[in-house]
Amino acid sequence: MITMAMIGLMIFGSIMVVSTNLGSSIGQVRTIYMTIAKQALFCTLGWLVCAWLSRLFSYNLMGRILPLLIFVYFLLLVATAVIGTDINGSKAWIQVGSLVSLQPSEFGKPLLILALALSARRVRDLAPDQRTFFHIFAWPLVLMALSVVFVGGLQKDFGSLIITLGIGFVGIMVPSYEGVKKWQRWLVGFFILVMIFFIVGVYLTDWFVEWFRNVPILRHIAVRIANMKNPYLNIHDDGYQPANALYGIADGGLLGRGLGSSVRKYGFLTQAESDYILAIVIEETGILGLGLILLLYGIIIWRLLHWALHARGTADKILFTCTASYLMLHFIVNIGGVSTLIPMTGVPLLLISAGGSSQLAVCIALGMVQARIAAIRPRIEILQDIKQKSRAAMDEYHSLQSQ
């Protein structure tokens, strides 16, 4: 079911990306063909990576090469800081040729999920007195620190930083080891304080707008918060995109204007194929199209949480739960930004938005979980069969007793 839902999202997303490019590439037939070719390439490559990992992934192999993977990720972050391309205030891309760009921060998310799962496996190799928070989660903490310094500090990609830290938070909350319980309580308390500070600073006052406006490198954050609070205040300048996204959503209605019939993609939304693609989806396919996306996302997340509940190993529980959180956080942050319920952060809608990096990253995560599902499914099915037979035997026993 996970694979079918993933393919369904890829196909629907590719159709919407091509439809969106028809608006931004009027008369440019070659550009449209290139968009179709790139989407076909990204989807095929993503599916192949997912299928390959679903067959070859193993904790033992990944545990041996994890330090190497983290080192390569570090080099990519350094390269992004040195030669990266700045887009809309975020220096998060490495240009590869004239047609393709790489966003390393996207690959940090499945890498963090892997590191969190492997942390649970490391516990077996640690002496009882070494099973402390920092010993267990050493590699995940290194990855989160890299994200804070490079993704948040140098790239100013706060959307990716929020999601990366969110995945880390969820992964740390899953284990029930004695050495981490105190830190889990502190992290929950810290999270509550951050949320209160965010709500007060963004929704109840103008603190954040005033603070960030006075810092040149953070001015774009102040603009996005102001646009969230009132996207129509400066509709011909900074509020142009969020206001037009809302117009597109309002025009969609229940069934939409029809596939390919969006008005907003004709120059009104300059990032229509990436950050704001959901506005085009709703404008063309209406609430029905949004419902289809919700259904397919729901199937993937539901199955991941189902396996997380049935898995016996802590590593598997972390892997399934964090992957579900990965998808859920991306969806919430993207739809929240497009609808101006939260500030826009430039986070793509996974498997729908254009972008090969995010496509490959989520396929890597789904490939890992598919491998573990295939590994634990036989045992879980046997246990469920035993439970059903035991329940049937007990029912038969009680019926005989009552006669």
SS3 state at 284: helix
Which of 48, 150, 59 has the alpha carbon at shortest distance from 105? 150
Q: Is the pLDDT of residue 175 over 80?
A: yes
Is 32 a residue whose pLDDT tops 90?
no
pLDDT tens sequence across 262-300: 888 887 787 788 889 999 999 999 999 999 999 999 999
**Whole-angstrom distance between the N-terminal and C-terminal Cα of the chain?**
44
Q: Which two tokens stand for residue 14?
A: 């590719």
Which residue type, as a one-letter code, is found at position 3?
T
Two structure tokens written together for 76: 């990519």
The answer to whether the predicted template modeling score (pTM) of the entire model surpasses 0.85 is yes
- For the cut 80, the answer to whether the pLDDT of residue 29 exceeds it is no
pLDDT of 350 above 70: yes
Of the listed ranges 93-107, 137-151, 181-195, 304-318, the one predicted with least confidence: 93-107
Question: What average pLDDT does the chain have?
Answer: 88
pLDDT at 395: 66
The beta-strand segments (E) located in 84-212 are 85-87, 90-96, 100-102
For helices 104-122 and 356-402, the axis angle rounded to 10 degrees is 40
- Per-residue burial over 345-376, b = 16 or more CB atoms within 10 Å of its CB, e = otherwise: bbbbbbbbbbbbbbbbbbbbbbbbbbbbbeeb
Predicted confidence (pLDDT) per residue in 321-345, tens digit = 999 999 999 999 999 999 999 998 8
Range list of β-strands (E), 222-370: none
Which residue did the predictor score with more confidence, 381 or 168?
Answer: 168
Taking every pair of C-alpha atoms in the chain, what is the biggest distance, in angstroms? 83
- In this prediction, residue 31 carries a pLDDT of 75
pLDDT value for 193: 96
Beta bridge partners of 133: none
Percent above pLDDT 70 for the chain: 94
Task: Please name the residues in contact with 388: beta carbons below 8 A apart, sequence gap of 6 or more.
Answer: none
Q: Number of folded domains in the chain?
A: 1
Structural domain boundaries enclosing 254: 2-402
